[in-house]
Chain A
Amino acid sequence: SQLAEENPWALSVHEGESVTVNCSYKTSITALQWYRQKSGEGPAQLILIRSNEREKRNGRLRATLDTSSQSSSLSITATRCEDTAVYFCADNTNTGKLTFGDGTVLTVKP
């Protein structure tokens, strides 16, 4: 079973709107990562948030981490068409493995 799960499965917004993707995980983690995969490409890391951090920002992106509820969120403000992609959370465990969730498909319409 997936150790990390995103919700919702799919989202659609218009350019300029903000959007939030959520993720829940089931094991103890050292860090939680958000990746984005555009069509025809491999996943690319957006943000890494460590287990002792509560919030991390990267430009229009903001990630939060709540270790008590084992959840994370990724918010994108002022979305653009090029933000259209599948967004994955991935958890790092002490084993060094990176386990991906099933992803959230985000479509940003003009």
Chain B
Amino acid sequence: GALVYQYPRRTICKSGTSMRMECQAVGFQATSVAWYRQSPQKTFELIALSTVNSAIKYEQNFTQEKFPISHPNLSFSSMTVLNAYLEDRGLYLCGARVMGFQNTLYFGAGTRLSVL
């Protein structure tokens, strides 16, 4: 099956600092990557959708200035949370789409961000 690894699994940062998280597709090529944030109440917010050879599309309330994303190849994506504050806490999930299975997202276990 398709495997997606996210690193780190957990991170704590001081308010106002930044942290970078990574998403690695193992054994397949991800035609697109969707970054979500899951709140402690389990609700999902789509941050952005990154498709190979296309511009990254950010959802309302999320900007490139705050959540810059890098998607250099078909197996790797990274996202940085800049100037993190309490409201940025949550589980950041990376979901990858496999060529030929465009409707399905294969998720990693997420990066849990805590902000002090």
Contact = CB atoms under 8 A, between A and B. Distances in A.
A2 interface: yes
Contacts of B104: 33, 45, 48
Interface residues of A, number: 23
B43 A102 contact: yes
Contacts of B43: 2, 100, 102-103
Interface stretch (A13-21, A53-61, A66-74, A91-99): A91-99
Contacts of A33: 103-104
Contact of A103 (B42, B103, B105): B42
Interface string B70-91: 0000000000000000000000
A81 interface: no
B103 A100 contact: no
Contact of B109 (A31, A42, A98): A42
Nearest to A30: B103
Given A33-B104, A42-B4, A43-B93, A102 B42 contact: yes
Nearest to B9: A40
A31 B103 CA distance: 8
A96 B34 CA distance: 11
Interface in B84-116: 93, 95, 102-110
B106 to A, nearest CB: 8
A44 B42 contact: no
Contacts of B25: none
B46 to A, nearest CB: 6
Contacts of B95: 42-43, 98
A102 B4 CA distance: 23
